[in-house]
Amino acid sequence: MKELLRKWYAIYLLLLIVVALLSSLLANNKPLYCKIDNTVYFPAFKEWIWGKTENNIFVNEEWKQKNIQSIIWSPIPYKYFQQNTNESLFQPFTKESISASHWLGTDHLGRDIFAGLINGTKTALLVGIGSILLMLFFGFNLGVISGYYGNSLLKFNKIRFFLLLILLLLSIAYLIVFKHQFAIEIIDNHQFTAIIGFLSIIFILIGIIILGTKYRLNKTFVFPMDATILKLIELINTIPKLLLLITIMAIVNRSIWTIIVIIGLLGWTTIAKLTRSETLKIKEMEYITAVKILGLSDFKIIYKHIFPNIIPPILIYICFGIASSIIAEAGLSFLGLGLPANEVSWGSMLSASREYISSWWLLFFPGLALFLTILSLHKIGEFIRKKYQPQKLQNINSYF
């Protein structure tokens, strides 16, 4: 029975991926195929591939008045943002909703629930996969560097380290200040670039003077990488992530890419701790000592010999991390701090249902989709945990 359920969980997740990839074909107010005045068009396919329709005649609804010789519609002939107040709050599976092709009913603005669910699937998977890729990038690299080098193996040239630190600080300043709207309004781009360049030269000169007078320029020092990364993880973990997430989303311009970046940057600490722990154990093994004696570079040792042994816990984290990201996005959208008003996700659909308690379908269908998605991801993660190296990963749940 458990094996059968696992297959259904996997099938459900595969179905979600297919629906997300084909969302523009499954729900679209433009036809898949139509023949107008002896000319064949594929507007939905063009929009699916290129993000825009094939011809300007499909920009508005006037094409429906032309001589349509044949036509094939999408299974859901509506866009998720398409409103029609004359069809508001259609109950699903009734004669009224089926005749209008609103299979799962409509909301208070006449938007099709099925189209919203399909777009919500694409949004959920995009947020989940995009944010987990960011978490993996930062978490794996920082975790494996922390575990591999520790506090005594990573050495830097003083002048190079200082210049690298200045470059990093200037990059952060560019991303935070230069791209911020109020900074652009106060000073123009050329003035700001000149200021940053001037400060860069000053910092570099000061660094060269300090390092050149007090120390030899070619002198190296040991950088405590492990302690630094652990302090950074501790600092991020002490901040309530939900509160920080809500605060940031209330300030920045809301978009799906903003949500992906913020969730990814706030969620990498778990995989960093997990990767560090596994690296500390693997680097003491005999085959790692052997390849060090053979003279392999640290890069090859990390990514060719350590990384393959960390794959099982990473696969587990991917399942749980995607689920957490989807829940985070749904929570933000439910509070009105997620996607913009012209976008639809499962969370925003749940939020709209609060004002129409008697319209059960507004709550049931997006809630069911969210529940089944999170449940499937958790069950697949549990299966991977039990399947691959169960003794080694028996304490994996302590990280989540």
Boundaries of every domain in the chain: 1-26+80-154+225-400, 29-73, 155-222
CA–CA separation, 376 and 379 (whole Å):
5
pLDDT at position 185:
42
pLDDT at position 82:
86
pLDDT at position 160:
65
pLDDT at position 310:
85
Q: What is the mean pLDDT of the chain?
A: 80
pLDDT at position 393:
46
Q: How far is CA 250 from the centre of its chain?
A: 18
Beta sheet of 68-72, edge-to-edge order: 39-41, 33-36, 68-72
pLDDT at position 1:
65
- Show contacts of 377-382: CB within 8 Å, 24+ apart: 377/13, 377/319, 377/320, 377/322, 377/323, 377/326, 378/319, 378/320, 378/323, 379/5, 379/6, 379/9, 380/6, 380/9, 380/10, 380/13, 380/319, 381/316, 381/318, 381/319, 381/320, 381/323
Residue 233 near residue 273, CB atoms below 8 Å: yes
pLDDT at position 118:
94
DSSP secondary structure, 76-91, as one string: B-S-TT---GGGTTPP
pLDDT at position 18:
94
Query: Given CA atoms 171, 177, 179, 183 in this order, what sign does their dihedral have?
Result: negative
pLDDT at position 181:
44
CA–CA separation, 247 and 250 (whole Å):
5
pLDDT at position 170:
66
CB-side neighbour CA atoms (13 Å) of 121: 25
pLDDT at position 213:
46
pLDDT at position 120:
92
CA–CA separation, 126 and 118 (whole Å):
13
CA–CA separation, 292 and 19 (whole Å):
48
Which residues, given as ranges, of the chain have pLDDT below 70? Answer: 1-2, 52-56, 156-221, 388-400
Residue linked to tokens 């300030």:
251
* Amino acid found at 250: A
Residue 306 near residue 144, CB atoms below 8 Å: yes
pLDDT in tens, 268-281: 998 999 899 888 88
pLDDT at position 20:
92
pTM over 0.85: no
The CATH superfamily label for domain 1-26+80-154+225-400 reads MetI-like (1.10.3720.10)
Type and span of the H or E element at 291: helix 286-293
